[in-house]
Amino acid sequence: MAGVTATELRVPARLDTMARPWAVLGVVVLGQSMVAVDSGLVNVAVPSIREDLGTGVAELQLVLAAYSLAVAALMVTGGRIGDLAGRRRLFLIGMGVFTLGALLAGLAPNSTVLIACRVVQGVGAALTSPQVMAMIQVAFPGAARARALAIHGTVLGLGAAVGQVGGGLLVRGDLFGTSWRPALLVQVPLGAAAIVAGWRVLPESRGEEGRRLDLVGAGILALAMVLAIYPLVQARQAGWAAWVWACLAASVVTLGLFLLHQRHRSATAGAPLLELALFRSTAFSAGLVVALALMAGLIPFIFLFTLCFQGGLGYDPLQASLTYAPVPIAFLLGARSSPRLLHRLGRRALTLGVSIMMVGTLLSIGAALLERPTLTWWTFLPGGLLWGFGQGIVAPLLLGFVLRDVPRQHAGAASGVYSTVTQLGVAVGVAIVGLIFASLLGDRTTAEAHRHAFAWTQLYNLGSEVLVLGLILLLPRAPDA
């Protein structure tokens, strides 16, 4: 691990011979994969949860939203704690909390307990995820780092899609009459394996010494994220009531207070939660904007797929999963080709990937509008393959552009900012997709009505892809200097 100082990386003596960069990557990617697939697993299990627990629509939304709220509220704080207290330590603690939350959620007797357990899982994810990217930054120098970040980006982008397919198989399997519960309980043995492997393999690393956690800043930022994301995920159910707009306005004000507080902490040598100097990097600032726009279309597409195929066309979880299965397969093919494309095209590889996604979206819209009376897997296949392939090119590469100029001592906090922005993008996108789909569907319940609503709602996804296409021009020409 050339170029890493003793201050940046402390390896306990008992781990010196065991901590190898690619072994470290394997462990942290295992942990990240659990966090990534969670949304897909729960998303496909939602109809079964509703039937089994008698959950209302509002509570069902909270089952999905509680996790995202906890992640977004605590992600930056989790990254900074890892920088200060040790990234290995926070990774292990976070995985323990996440795994415990999955166990309790899988055994939850009612929706109230399930929502509380989803919050616990979100806290665990917020502690774990920033350490993953930070440890990659520390363990891999130069070109090796680019390859490691590409692998990490592949796992991150593939996670929700794999969760969608795997969740469908588990729910349909109905093991021992447990319905949706295996979709959450499957994370328990994986989490235990990640904890054991992490304890044996991961080296400890920290950022700057002699700093204290900015608890006031952490509280203000958490409040800002809750005020922003909670009303977005509840907006459609609440009919975009006045309180939704009030919370969104309050979130902007609270975020402004957070920035003022961080500037004051920096000026008084008070060790801010977030180094505002990070935003002087064009790669970091522009990359966050691209990530926000990209995630506002990716995960909402999976949400839209579930609304249409399971909610309206009568597909069971297995049928819906098999229909969606070509997307993660194509994603893997795209991810495999992304390093070569990056080497040849630089930033234009992102442009190519997004352009392919746009063609896939157009084909999906055409298939939904032209087929009678419903959608079948083979008509969805061409668009799904192209959309997944383009996504596979983009997702592994973007992170390398965002973290290009981030100093290693701030890697955890920067990773937390990136993850928070992606969660915000998901919340915004799901709220918009849900609103458009419900408005187009109205009171109609026929398969044809769902097919048309599915098609026209995808114009939002197409618009987000066009936006990303333009924003890519703000990124540097290469992800690594």
Pairwise CA distance, residues 277 & 291, whole Å: 19
Q: What is the average per-residue pLDDT within 259-278?
A: 82
Q: What is the pTM of this model?
A: 0.77
Q: What is the average per-residue pLDDT within 255-273?
A: 85
Which tens digit of pLDDT belongs to each residue from 434-444?
778 888 887 88
Beta carbons of 73 and 225 less than 8 angstroms apart = yes
Confidence band of 380 (pLDDT split at 50, 70, 90): confident
Residue 92 has pLDDT above 90, yes or no: yes
> Which residue's entry shows tokens 């333009």?
470
CB atoms within 10 A of CB 215: 10
- Per DSSP, 205 falls in state E
Residue from 39, 456, 464 nearest 233 by CA: 39
Q: What is the average per-residue pLDDT within 462-466?
A: 91
Residue 14 has pLDDT above 50, yes or no: no
Residue 71 has pLDDT above 80, yes or no: yes
| pLDDT for res 375 | 67
Pairwise CA distance, residues 237 & 214, whole Å: 36
- Going from the C-alpha of 317 to that of each of 169, 172, 175, 212, 320, the distances in angstroms are 7, 6, 14, 48, 5
Angle, helices 317-324/377-402, rounded to nearest 10 degrees: 60
Confidence band of 208 (pLDDT split at 50, 70, 90): low
Please list, in sequence order, all residues whose beta carbon lies within 8 angstroms of the beta carbon of residue 346, skipping any fewer than 6 positions away. 477, 478
For the chain, domains (ranges, CATH) are 20-203+273-474 (1.20.1250.20)
| pLDDT for res 7 | 36
- Going from the C-alpha of 243 to that of each of 5, 58, 217, 227, 231, the distances in angstroms are 50, 16, 25, 10, 8
Pairwise CA distance, residues 390 & 367, whole Å: 19
Q: Is 294 exposed, middle or buried (0-12, 13-18, 19+ CB in 10 A)?
A: buried
| pLDDT for res 249 | 95
- Strand, coil or helix: 290: helix
* Residue 145 in tokens: 């780092």
| pLDDT for res 254 | 96
Q: Which of 205-219, 252-266, 276-290 has the lowest mean pLDDT?
A: 205-219
Please list, in sequence order, all residues whose beta carbon lies within 8 angstroms of the beta carbon of residue 42, skipping any fewer than 6 positions away. 63, 64, 67, 118, 163, 167, 183, 184
Beta carbons of 387 and 266 less than 8 angstroms apart = no
Residue 124 has pLDDT above 60, yes or no: yes
**Residue of higher predicted confidence among 10 and 353:** 353
| pLDDT for res 197 | 92
| pLDDT for res 96 | 95
Please list, in sequence order, all residues whose beta carbon lies within 8 angstroms of the beta carbon of residue 260, skipping any fewer than 6 positions away. none
What is the overall mean pLDDT for the chain?
A: 82
Q: What is the average per-residue pLDDT within 403-432?
A: 78
Confidence band of 154 (pLDDT split at 50, 70, 90): confident
Confidence band of 3 (pLDDT split at 50, 70, 90): very low
Q: What is the average per-residue pLDDT within 210-219?
A: 81
Residue 210 has pLDDT above 70, yes or no: no
- The share of the chain scoring above pLDDT 90, in percent, equals 22
Confidence band of 273 (pLDDT split at 50, 70, 90): confident
| pLDDT for res 248 | 93
Residue 11 has pLDDT above 50, yes or no: no
| pLDDT for res 103 | 95
| pLDDT for res 118 | 92
Pairwise CA distance, residues 469 & 164, whole Å: 26
| pLDDT for res 306 | 73
Q: Which of 69-83, 182-196, 339-353 has the lowest mean pLDDT?
A: 69-83
Beta carbons of 310 and 322 less than 8 angstroms apart = no
| pLDDT for res 114 | 93
The full DSSP string for 135-173 is HHHHH--HHHHHHHHHHHHHHHHHHHHHHHHHHHHHHHH
Which tens digit of pLDDT belongs to each residue from 22-42?
888 888 888 888 887 887 788
Q: What is the average per-residue pLDDT within 275-282?
A: 82
Residue 419 has pLDDT above 70, yes or no: yes
Which H or E run contains 9? strand 9-10
Residue 383 has pLDDT above 70, yes or no: yes
**Residue of higher predicted confidence among 183 and 445:** 183
Residue 480 has pLDDT above 60, yes or no: no
Confidence band of 141 (pLDDT split at 50, 70, 90): confident
| pLDDT for res 374 | 64
Q: Which of 269-278, 392-401, 464-473 has the lowest mean pLDDT?
A: 269-278
Which H or E run contains 204? strand 204-205
| pLDDT for res 1 | 35
